[in-house]
């Protein structure tokens, strides 16, 4: 009797090869040699010439794996071995030959150096195969550049109406999006595109990349990049690429309903699984765009997750696929709509360092075991560790909190000699002039390092990133902004904590973090050092996060909320308890409360609009409760929908009543300036109108901080420079020392003392307050106030609109026009301050004044020059 063959001979060769005892012995030896060399030591182990060749042959064999499930991991292992051997035996011809063969088998042509490519040609037939592969993987519109095979699959997936994919951080997922957009436009598209990014910190980086892509197509297409609903370009006739956060984009599609978006790319889509309110706007965005007469094509991009199909549940037309009784039926019918890529073009060598004992363990990617490498009893200090390993390398140090990032950076700077780099010294001088003379960041730049945190002014943050990419800054201390998608080419990543703020990183967040080290356009690998710095950090948590397996992700409405939480939302709606008072009484975490509140507002709006079949309505069980929906419609009759779910109906009613009784923004003084006392009084009114004690208890709900917020808000709207805002903030703390100092909404100092350390904490608190409370929370409330004021008085515009003042940080019309055109606040201030040199015309209309491009490109301010380059690409009509 014949037994059916379950695998081919070739498949049997690769099956379980990673468990080959000889391979494991060789890998362990090579890893030991590499690791000891990394730490400046001589390994007790060595490879014979035969063992060296055998390990290279194993790598070559692994790179040719044809097993569907195991091939990606085996190819990564092959690359890891050959990259490691290239470090152990630099410029060795045999190693380079096998390295080339491995990269060729993995079709990782981008990873080849000029030296490696010398070994690419092995004969006519082999050349024909390579040329065929390279032709298939060629990137549209990019001469001599090639996709990875996984990138090509992602690119092809964009031909579907919806597609969700995940891949390692280093694969270049965002790059594939931009290639698709550019190719569509080059082919004559007049559709609008949108890229959603998780934080404002990424807007400039992504929009700048898109602008560079579009610049080459200017003669073929009329496309502009828009980053907010207030951009001046929206007053003109163009095609658009929108680069926005979910909150901005939701407000945009609800207020600019005449503009259709044909393609939507949701980058860092795993944020839809986060336990924060910021996950909720994605639900409404996808639902609205999916139900248009001509539905938007929607694509989800995530790092590292095993089940990217989870996010397709948000697409109404795909819901049937997830109700199939058979998992096999679902996979067969709908696998073309999602893709989970395991292959990575770069690898990471991982180490666990216990600074309490000086012991170093190597984390073996072949055996997935943690093995004792060596003991360095003297190595008990983070500064010594960075100096030992990171000399002349690009280093990123991940820190849990803003305070840690600054404190660790200041401590490390004391061990370094002064830099002689003129650019860094110039930046330090500018920072002292523009922010504060005692700001630690200036001291750090004079030592060739910096910290990178979300609250830094945009142009300063971009200049720091540029200096790091060029190698002028060698070591960068970062917080979780690094996880959000900022791409920096690092050789080494030092992870000082498994927390972000006060909560633990998720497995996805941790994998996304360590995937930031090693960039394919620079190197094939990077080193990751997991550091236990104190007893509070538990080894078992690090071990769990370092596990190669990532758990399946769930949408936040399922992963964060329990059935009882969903029932509580429905019960609250039914009872008219829009404050979710029972949730507050249960003392749920602020982030969970905000998520539940936002979902309740979405459900309320859906009910009032008769949208019973939306995803949120189904998840809350409201889609089948017609009587309950009818009751809600009756109870909340006349409630006005908020474009962005920032304001609930009770807040809206209070606002209407306030404006109906003559409420308005405070009057200016006789010189047209804002009066501090009026600002504070107005915020106190808003505290009551918008019920901040109930809805914003972690931030604006601190009534005793209204004076702090008022002072910064007053200075910001008045157009004061950062230096003056910081000066006023420090004076406020001197006058109110018992107010303490908050950073990221946590009190870290109970009583202010006027020294350099506390001044720097106030600077951090000030910049954080501007970025979060002023430009996000207060700006959103002012937007609602202005919108209601216009509705009540039947106005298109009105004088003394504080929403414009806070949005652009100025009361000067010309500065507002410049910012709406794409200049940063600081650059607009510079231009207006030198308008006799750079501007023509006296009218405040864009049609009536022109900037002198050549003069601005040589104005001597690097930030203004870079801004001018970007704005000229996007708004050329602003210039001569």
Residue located via tokens 């071990």:
543
Residues 370-399 have a mean pLDDT of: 89
Identify the pLDDT of residue 880: 81
| Contact between 748 and 768 (Cβ < 8 Å) | no
Mark whether 590 and 488 lie in a shared domain: no
Q: Would you say residue 251 lies in a domain? A: yes
Q: Examine the pLDDT at 656 and tell me if it is beyond 90.
A: yes
Can you read off the two tokens belonging to residue 373? 């490498």
Last residue of a domain, one of 589, 619, 638: 638
Residues in the chain: 880
Residue located via tokens 């031909």:
159
Residues 743-760 have a mean pLDDT of: 90
Q: Measured between alpha carbons, how far is 138 from 121 in angstroms, rounded to an integer? A: 19
Radius of gyration of the chain (CA): 29
Can you read off the two tokens belonging to residue 508? 């996805």
Mark whether 800 and 765 lie in a shared domain: yes
- Please give the tally of structural domains in the chain: 6
Mark whether 215 and 294 lie in a shared domain: yes
Mark whether 176 and 117 lie in a shared domain: no
**CATH number for the domain that contains residue 426:** 3.40.50.300
Mark whether 577 and 597 lie in a shared domain: yes
Can you read off the two tokens belonging to residue 288? 């609205």
Compute the CA torsion angle 344, 346, 347, 348 (nearest 10 deg).
-120
Compute the CA torsion angle 830, 831, 836, 837 (nearest 10 deg).
90
Last residue of a domain, one of 614, 638, 662: 638
Buried b (16+ CB within 10 A) or exposed e, 541-561: ebeebbeeebeebebbbebbb
| Contact between 79 and 106 (Cβ < 8 Å) | yes
pTM: 0.92
SS3 call for 589: coil
What is the domain range of residue 286?
Answer: 149-340
Q: Which tens digit of pLDDT belongs to each residue from 142-151?
A: 877 888 899 9
Mark whether 630 and 778 lie in a shared domain: no
Residue located via tokens 């308005």:
664
Identify the pLDDT of residue 333: 60
Mark whether 172 and 256 lie in a shared domain: yes
Q: Which tens digit of pLDDT belongs to each residue from 787-845?
A: 999 999 999 999 999 999 999 999 999 999 999 999 999 999 999 999 989 988 765 55
Mark whether 367 and 483 lie in a shared domain: yes
Higher pLDDT, 787 or 121: 787
Complete edge-to-edge strand list for the sheet that includes strand 297-303: 223-226, 239-244, 193-196, 263-266, 297-303, 162-167, 338-340
Q: Examine the pLDDT at 324 and tell me if it is beyond 70.
A: no
Q: Would you say residue 113 lies in a domain? A: yes
Identify the pLDDT of residue 122: 62
Q: Would you say residue 25 lies in a domain? A: yes
Q: Would you say residue 552 lies in a domain? A: no
Residue located via tokens 């073996």:
364
Q: Would you say residue 665 lies in a domain? A: no
Contacts of 314 (CB under 8 A, 6+ apart): 272, 282, 283, 286, 287, 290, 555, 615
Q: Measured between alpha carbons, how far is 264 from 295 in angstroms, rounded to an integer? A: 10
Identify the pLDDT of residue 411: 96
Q: Which tens digit of pLDDT belongs to each residue from 614-645?
A: 899 999 999 888 888 888 888 887 776 666 67
Identify the pLDDT of residue 155: 95
Identify the pLDDT of residue 512: 86
Mark whether 386 and 531 lie in a shared domain: yes
Last residue of a domain, one of 293, 318, 340: 340
Identify the pLDDT of residue 341: 92
Q: Would you say residue 472 lies in a domain? A: yes
Q: Measured between alpha carbons, how far is 661 from 642 in angstroms, rounded to an integer? A: 22
Q: Nearest-CA neighbor of 280 among 269, 291, 272, 288? A: 272
| Contact between 169 and 516 (Cβ < 8 Å) | yes
Range in 158-167, 743-752, 778-787 with the lowest mean pLDDT: 743-752
Question: Exposed (0-12), middle (13-18) or buried (19+): which is 847, by Cβ within 10 Å?
Answer: exposed
Mark whether 201 and 294 lie in a shared domain: yes
Average pLDDT over the chain, rounded to an integer? 89
Mark whether 192 and 297 lie in a shared domain: yes
Can you give 209-242 as a three-state secondary structure string?
A: HHHHHHHCCCCCCCEEEECCCCCHHHHCCCEEEE
Percent of the chain with pLDDT over 70: 93
For 41, other C-beta atoms within 10 Å of its C-beta total: 12
Residues 771-780 have a mean pLDDT of: 92
Mark whether 300 and 170 lie in a shared domain: yes
Identify the pLDDT of residue 321: 44
Q: Measured between alpha carbons, how far is 162 from 321 in angstroms, rounded to an integer? A: 13
Q: Which tens digit of pLDDT belongs to each residue from 184-220?
A: 999 999 999 999 998 887 888 899 999 998 887 776 6
Q: Would you say residue 142 lies in a domain? A: no
Q: What is the pairing mode between strands 503-504 and 499-500?
A: antiparallel
């Amino acid at each position: 009797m014949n037994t059916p063959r379950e695998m081919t001979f070739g498949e049997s060769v690769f099956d379980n090869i990673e468990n080959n005892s000889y391979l494991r012995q060789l890998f362990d030896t090579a890893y030991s040699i590499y690791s000891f060399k990394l730490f400046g030591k001589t390994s007790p182990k060595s490879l014979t010439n035969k063992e060296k060749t055998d390990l290279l042959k194993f790598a070559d064999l692994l790179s040719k794996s044809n097993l569907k499930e195991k091939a990606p991991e085996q190819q990564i292992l092959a690359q890891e071995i050959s990259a490691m051997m290239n470090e152990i035996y630099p410029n060795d011809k045999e190693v380079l030959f096998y390295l080339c063969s491995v990269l060729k088998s993995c079709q990782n042509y981008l990873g080849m150096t000029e030296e490696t490519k010398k070994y690419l040609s092995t004969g006519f037939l082999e050349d024909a195969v390579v040329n065929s592969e390279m032709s298939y993987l060629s990137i549209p519109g990019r001469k001599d550049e090639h996709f990875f095979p996984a990138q090509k699959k992602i690119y092809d997936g964009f031909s579907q109406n919806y597609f969700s994919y995940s891949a390692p951080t280093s694969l270049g997922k965002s790059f594939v999006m931009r290639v698709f957009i550019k190719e569509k436009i080059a082919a004559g598209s007049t559709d609008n595109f949108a890229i959603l990014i998780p934080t404002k910190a990424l807007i400039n980086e992504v929009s700048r990349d898109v602008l560079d892509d579009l610049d080459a197509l200017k003669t073929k297409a009329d496309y502009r990049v828009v980053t907010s609903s207030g951009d001046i370009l929206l007053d003109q006739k163009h095609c658009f690429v929108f680069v926005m956060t979910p909150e901005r984009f939701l407000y945009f599609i609800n207020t600019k309903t005449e503009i259709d978006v044909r393609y939507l790319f949701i980058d860092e889509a795993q944020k839809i699984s986060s336990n924060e309110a910021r996950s909720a706007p994605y639900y409404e965005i996808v639902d609205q765009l999916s139900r248009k007469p001509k539905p938007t094509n929607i694509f989800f991009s995530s790092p590292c997750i095993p089940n990217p199909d989870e996010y397709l549940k948000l697409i109404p037309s795909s819901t049937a696929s997830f109700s199939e009784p058979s998992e096999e039926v679902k996979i067969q019918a709908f696998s073309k709509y999602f893709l989970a890529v395991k292959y990575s073009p770069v690898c990471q060598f991982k180490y666990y360092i216990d600074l309490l004992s000086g012991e170093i363990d190597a984390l073996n990617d072949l055996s997935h075991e943690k093995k004792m490498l060596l003991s360095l009893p003297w190595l008990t200090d983070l500064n010594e560790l960075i100096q030992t390993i990171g000399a002349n390398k690009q280093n990123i140090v991940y820190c849990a909190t803003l305070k840690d990032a600054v404190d660790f950076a200041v401590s490390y700077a004391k061990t370094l000699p002064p830099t002689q780099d003129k650019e860094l010294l110039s930046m330090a001088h500018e920072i002292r002039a523009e922010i504060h003379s005692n700001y630690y960041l200036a001291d750090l730049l004079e030592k060739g390092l910096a910290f990178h945190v979300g609250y830094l002014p945009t142009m300063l943050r971009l200049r720091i990133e540029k200096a790091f990419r060029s190698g002028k800054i060698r070591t960068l201390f970062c917080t979780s902004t690094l996880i959000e998608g900022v791409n920096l080419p690092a050789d080494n990543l030092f992870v000082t904590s498994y927390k972000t703020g006060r909560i633990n990183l998720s497995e996805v967040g941790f994998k996304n973090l360590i995937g930031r080290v090693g960039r394919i356009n620079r190197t094939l690998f990077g080193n990751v050092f997991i550091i236990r710095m104190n007893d509070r950090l538990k080894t078992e948590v690090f071990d769990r996060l370092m596990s190669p397996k990532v758990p399946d992700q769930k949408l936040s409405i399922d992963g964060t909320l329990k059935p009882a939480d969903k029932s509580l939302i429905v019960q609250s709606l039914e009872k008219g308890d829009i404050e979710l008072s029972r949730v507050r009484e249960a003392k749920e975490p602020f982030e969970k409360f905000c998520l539940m509140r936002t979902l309740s507002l979405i459900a309320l709006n859906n009910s009032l609009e008769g949208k019973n079949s939306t995803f949120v309505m189904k998840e809350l069980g409201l889609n089948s409760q017609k009587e309950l929906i009818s009751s809600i419609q009756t109870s909340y009759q006349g409630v006005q929908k908020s474009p962005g779910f920032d304001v609930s109906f009770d807040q809206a009613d209070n606002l209407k009543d306030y404006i109906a009784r003559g409420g308005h923004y405070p009057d200016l003084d006789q010189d047209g300036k804002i009066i501090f006392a009026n600002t504070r009084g107005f915020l106190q009114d808003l505290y009551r109108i918008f019920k901040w004690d109930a809805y914003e208890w972690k931030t604006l709900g601190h009534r005793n901080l209204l004076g702090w917020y008022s002072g910064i808000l007053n200075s910001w709207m008045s157009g004061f420079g950062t230096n003056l805002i910081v000066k006023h903030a420090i004076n406020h703390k001197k006058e109110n020392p018992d107010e303490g100092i908050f950073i990221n909404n946590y009190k870290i100092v109970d009583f202010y003392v006027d020294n350099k350390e506390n001044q720097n904490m106030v600077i951090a608190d000030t910049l954080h307050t501007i970025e979060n409370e002023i430009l996000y929370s207060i700006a959103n409330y002012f937007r609602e106030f202005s919108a209601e004021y216009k509705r009540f008085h039947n106005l298109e515009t009105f004088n003394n609109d504080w929403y414009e003042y806070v949005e652009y940080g100025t009361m000067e019309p010309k500065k507002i026009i410049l910012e709406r055109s794409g200049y940063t606040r600081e650059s607009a201030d510079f231009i207006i301050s030198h308008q006799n040199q750079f501007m023509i015309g006296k009218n405040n209309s864009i049609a009536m004044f022109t900037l002198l491009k050549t003069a601005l490109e040589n104005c001597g301010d690097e930030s203004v020059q870079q801004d001018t380059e970007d704005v000229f690409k996007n708004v050329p009509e602003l210039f001569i």
